[in-house]
A and B are shown apart, each in its own frame.
Chain A
Amino acid sequence: MPLTNALRDDILAAVPSLRAFAISLSGNADRADDLVQETLLRALANIDSFQPGSNLPAWLFTILRNLFRSDYRKRRREVEDAEGSYAKTLKSQPGQNAHLEFEEFRAALEKLPQDQREALILVGASGFSYEDAAAICGCAVGTIKSRVNRARSKLSAMLYVEGAEDFGPDDTVRAVIGSSGS
């Protein structure tokens, strides 16, 4: 559809959640804002391909996610951003305990495989349905559900289970090695 003032306002209204999604994907505020900017430019350039009445946020998230994917492939060998870049984007100053907990959570989230992290964020934070998240990621609904479940399990293991880094097949392997090794 052609760009209208109403559509422009809707795009503007989606910017805060696009930024939140971009930061959770990239873990880097500056890079996230570049991603958002590129997303907006691409969306506006291709606005004619947006179907009126369809889900505008999902359309914008799809563009951002695809840009991040191609960007990620280009940059994967670059040195990862220093710890704490995410915290710098925050205006609120949480209390010390809350801040530690927050940092721990953020670090655990960054350890998740990218597929699982994005699925968890789309469903658990952005509030998309499994169906919308599947459309954004270009995969089946069942795949999204299983990624979200695996992401939750891993986060739970990293954050809330004493002494466990991971579980699942790795634990089985460790158990086998442990029992036959000595």
Chain B
Amino acid sequence: MKDFKAQKAPAPAKQGGLNPEIQARIGHQLRAMYDDVVRQGVPDRFAELIRKLDVPGETPTSGHIEGRD
């Protein structure tokens, strides 16, 4: 990635007329931030919370709760 400050773009003229390059960069940053959390997967506390629930009419997947990671 190129230097952030050096790439300051000219002011977008008006609302809705955003420079496509800036728009793409905002989208990229937003997804990068979001995906950093998504990649952490399911923390144990939630995996356990959900897995220990009884599902009526179906056999439990396992009596033992397997931790992730």
List residues of A whose CB falls within 8 A of some B CB: 2-5, 8, 11-12, 15-17, 19-21, 23-24, 33, 36-37, 40-41, 44, 89-92, 97-98, 100-102, 104-106, 109, 120-121, 124-126, 149-150, 152-153, 155-157, 159-162, 164, 167-168
Contact = CB atoms under 8 A, between A and B. Distances in A.
B66 interface: no
Interface of B: 1, 3-4, 7-12, 15-16, 18-19, 22-23, 25-27, 29-43, 45-47, 49-51, 53, 55-58, 61
A156 B34 contact: no
A40 B50 contact: yes
A15 B55 contact: no
B55 A4 contact: yes
B36 A90 contact: yes
B40 A12 contact: no
A150 B1 contact: no
A12 B46 contact: yes
Given A24-B34, A153-B18, A40 B46 contact: yes
A101 B18 contact: no
Contacts of B4: 97, 100-101, 104
Contacts of B3: 97
10 contacts: A3-B55, A8-B55, A12-B50, A15-B47, A16-B37, A19-B40, A36-B46, A89-B40, A125-B33, A153-B18
